[in-house]
Amino acid sequence: MPLPLPLSDEVLANPDRDSQLSFGPDVNDLSTFLHIIELRRINAEIYKSLHSAGDTNLAGTNIDVIRVQHHTRLSRWLVSAPRYLVPASMHQTPEWFQIAYHQAIMNLYRPSHASPVSTIDALRHCADSSISLISCYGALYAKNKVTYTFVALTSLFMAGVTMLYSLRASAALRQELTRGVVKSNIGSCTTLLRDISHGGAVVERSVEIIERLGRATLAFFESVPGLEDNQVDTEFMSWFGLKGHGHHLLDRSPAQPTPSADVPWNDLFEYGFDLGNICCGDMLV
């Protein structure tokens, strides 16, 4: 905590007269850059701890400890994010820091090689962060601040998949939300995908996937589908990049194998994103 500045009443009354008052970080300084670097370090440790294909034998208690430690670091990161009165770019907005935080939380708690079966607490974190991420992108789009289109589309799509997976996997979470609210959240995600991308074949394919998985999830609000619906559960796992694991949702006892993640991703990106209107910086985030 810095010491108080020795400012007179005259200086306080006339802050424009050669005063040294500081109203937060300068948009041209390195605060944003350094903060993003710190987030990348945390994300790298999350991937190394939970998503490395070789680390699949961690005990459940160890995974819980790892998640709590990283969650604490992410919370400190968000609280210490620089605040700009007039942000010069999307990456200096409060919404973007929230998006980056919620993206990291989803990566921390989603199914992984180290923890392929999610607990109710992990599912709740995934649901909360995915819904919050979609809302933050909606706020940025309303301000015409979304400039990193490729990253935004990928992030929105995975937030939609994660949200639906969490709700489909947990009856407790479904009881906390109404069918109408979930349907509205699905609509918000698909609308943003179309609006941010300005159309395109791959985005329509993304929307089709979210809507199809959404219909399968909404069906759980009325009744639990039979085992013939296992293919949808398997597809959820494939979007998380898992291979060769037996997985099951919390509402199911039978486990089913999951295919290679290459199957859905290759289908989605068969034609690629239209990069004509996307700045090159998208690839650097």
- Residue boundaries of the structural domains of the chain: 64-284
Residue with tokens 């289109």: 149
pLDDT given at position 210 = 95
Say how far apart CA 44 and CA 55 lie, in whole Å: 14
Provide the pLDDT for residue 212. 93
Q: How far apart are CA 84 and CA 27, in angstroms?
A: 7
What's the length of the chain? 285
Please answer whether residues 277 and 153 qualify as being in contact, where contact means their C-beta atoms are separated by less than 8 angstroms: no
Per-residue pLDDT of the chain (285 residues; tens, 9 = 90+): 555 666 677 766 665 554 444 555 666 677 888 999 999 999 999 998 888 766 555 655 588 899 999 999 999 999 999 998 888 889 999 999 999 999 999 999 998 888 877 889 999 999 999 999 999 999 999 999 998 788 899 999 999 999 999 999 888 999 899 999 999 999 999 999 999 988 777 789 899 999 999 999 999 888 765 555 566 677 777 777 765 454 444 444 333 333 333 334 444 444 444 434 333 333 333
- Position 226 scores a pLDDT of 57
Q: Find the Cα–Cα–Cα–Cα dihedral 30, 36, 42, 47, rounded to 10°.
A: -140
